[in-house]
Amino acid sequence: MPVDIALIHPERLALIDDLGTTVTFAELLDRATRLGRAMHAAGVPAGGHVGTLTENRAEFFELYLASMLSGIWLVPINGLLAPSEVTYVARDADLAMIFAEDELASLAPDDITTICFGEPYETMITEGDPTPFALDAPAGSRFSYTSGTTGHPKGVKRSIPAALDEMLAVQRSAGHDVAMTGEGIHLVTGPAYHAAVGGFAFFDLCNGATLRIMRKFDAARTLELIEQEQVRRTHLVPTMMVRMLRLNESARLRDLSSLDIVLHGAAPIAPAVKRQMIDWLGPILVEYWGTSEAGVFTRVDSADWLAHPGTVGRPVPGFEVFAVDDTGATLPPGEVGRLFCHTPNKPEPFAYWNAPEKTASSYLRPGVFTLGDMGHVDDEGWIFLADRATNMIITGGVNVYPAEVEQALLEHPAVLDAAVFGIPDEEWGEKVKAAVEFATGETVADTELIDFARERLGRHKVPRSIDVHESLPRQPNGKLYLSSLRDPYWEGHDRKI
């Protein structure tokens, strides 16, 4: 854990960012301790809430550790949210203060204390008490808000151990569950405010890794940094992988042999894309299935994925996964239903903030919950996702899972990105609609793509029509703003499904 590393290897680098900041483990522990004490002195109690509005930088991880040490809950706010959404999150979470970049500080509500990085932040640290926090004191954690692709973002808190030493130990063990074991350099490519990106990086940090923090993702620069800084581990989303694969030969001609692990999840990946990545990098991809609400449920390495293409793995320690039908009865192997996870030692592993009814609706019984994913478990215990229940298209009474159609379209070499959704149809109820983004310099007729899909999918799954977009509306974490594509087709209709 950072406390031990700071004592044993005080000069080891903990954080390096694109702004030129470098922080050793000794400095990280001292700065995080002072910052935690300063938040208490400013009136934020243990159990209180503070927010961040920032792009990737070293200070984010200082705040992450400071909050954990001081028993405070940290709410990372997506700087891409509209001002009204930022205000909603700040009010809903009852934030006592917000730490922000100068460029994003204007998004914070005027009546909440806002500390900008730079002189105000550094003064707060300098004036903070350096007295270490007791390891049996209450721990803090991350308090996440969902991406808010529909409606208001929703806050969620995970259950955490009562004491700080137990909480730090959980970070280390969770890191080992997903191969974030602390050796060498971990490259942070995506937005750290995202629960997976920031969380996995923090796990690796707690196990001793140096975090090399990219300000923003760039495919060519990612490869350059891996080669130059001998990166051992990183996290990528499928959109990033596609962009890396589409780089020209000279940009891809890098020595990437230092990489041990490429962790990926957060969005579905086309099997063809994953095979290309494994062919390029070797069998170092580790896929997971999880959510902001409850963490990681499954994992699968490259060898097992190649033997079971499309799987998201088997459960990690502490979880069981099974599919149920509409009555709540457990389904036999191979049948698609709503996936539930069981954590035997945690009756309520997460709860939505100020939303007891939503929390209750997620649980089948104590310790058994769903986040709405559909899929099946095969007879060997491998788990396969179909789609989110809320994304499912019902056409002529038959269920179509968009992710399957998207993956078929992504196999076409001209398609860089794809989204599939249902639109109203008088005869069929809904019909399958696709939206695609072409790779640079590529274009094909929609009839060609439809024929391409027809060769790979059942007739009812094939898109009836395809829209072409210059770029699809994705968040930096890879998730799609589906409503902006889908909703215009449902205007004037009294239903949305």
The angle, 0 to 180 degrees and rounded to 10, between the axes of the packed helices 219-229 and 238-245 is 90
Residues 78-95 have pLDDT tens digits of 887 778 889 999 999 999
On average, the pLDDT of the chain sits at 91
- Strand order across the 22-24 sheet: 22-24, 13-17, 210-213, 185-188, 231-236, 261-264, 285-291, 295-301, 314-315
The CATH classification number of 392-490 equals 3.30.300.30
Return the residue matching tokens 């989204």: 419
Give me the mean pLDDT over the 29-52 stretch.
Answer: 98
For residues 147 and 37, the model is more confident at: 37
18-22, 161-165, 467-471, 491-495: which range is least confident on average?
Answer: 491-495
Average pLDDT value for residue range 191-202: 93
Is residue 393 within 8 A of residue 402, CB to CB? The reply is yes
| Maximum pairwise Cα distance, the chain | 70
The contacts of residue 64 (CB under 8 Å, 6+ apart) are 74, 142, 198, 202
State both tokens at 161.
Answer: 């151990």
Q: How confident is the model at residue 1 (pLDDT cuts 50, 70, 90)?
A: low
Unique residue bearing structure tokens 């991350």: 142
Region 271-287: mean pLDDT is 93
For residues 232 and 439, the model is more confident at 232
DSSP string, 216-227: S--HHHHHHHHH
Looking at residue 135, its amino acid is: L
* Cβ neighbours of 405 (radius 10 Å): 25
Q: Does residue 39 surpass a pLDDT of 80? A: yes
Rounded mean pLDDT, 389-416: 83
Residues 237, 242, 243, 247: is their CA dihedral positive or negative? positive
Please, what is the end-to-end C-alpha distance for the chain in angstroms? 48
| Structure token pair of residue 243 | 């962009």
Name the residue with tokens 């922080």: 23
Q: What is the pLDDT of residue 148?
A: 45
Task: Decide: 54 and 80 in contact? Cβ < 8 Å.
Answer: no
pLDDT band at 283 (very low <50, low <70, confident <90, very high): very high
C-alpha 86/C-alpha 60 separation (Å) is 18
Which of 43-57, 280-294, 395-409 has the largest mean confidence? 43-57
Site of tokens 């706010």:
77
Task: Give, in order, the Cα–Cα distances in Å from 267 to each of 209, 252, 330, 394.
Answer: 25, 24, 26, 22
Domain definitions of the chain by residue range = 2-210, 392-490
CB neighbour class for 459 (10 Å; exposed up to 12, middle 13-18, buried from 19) = exposed
Q: Which two tokens stand for residue 259?
A: 């990489």
- Whether 392-490 and 2-210 are alike in CATH topology: the answer is no
Residue 497's pLDDT is 45
Whether residue 371 is predicted with pLDDT greater than 90 in this model: the reply is: no
Residue among 55, 73, 56 at smallest CA distance from 64: 73
> How far, in whole angstroms, is CA 491 from its chain's centroid?
31
| Greater model confidence, 361 or 272 | 361
Give me the mean pLDDT over the 12-28 stretch.
97
pLDDT level of residue 151 (50, 70, 90 thresholds): low
**H-helix or E-strand spanning residue 98:** strand 97-100
User: Which is nearest to 72 in space by CA: 92, 46, 95, 91?
Assistant: 46
Model pLDDT for residues 160-182, shown as the tens digit of each residue: 999 999 999 999 999 998 899 99
**Which residue has tokens 């320690």?**
317
The DSSP code sequence of 317-377 is: TT-EEEEE-TTSPBPPTT--EEEEEE-TT-S-SEEETT-HHHHHHHEEETTEE--SEEEEE
- Whether the predicted pLDDT of 152 surpasses 80: no
Q: Does domain 2-210 have CATH number 2.60.40.420?
A: no
- Report, as an integer, the average pLDDT of 378-391: 84
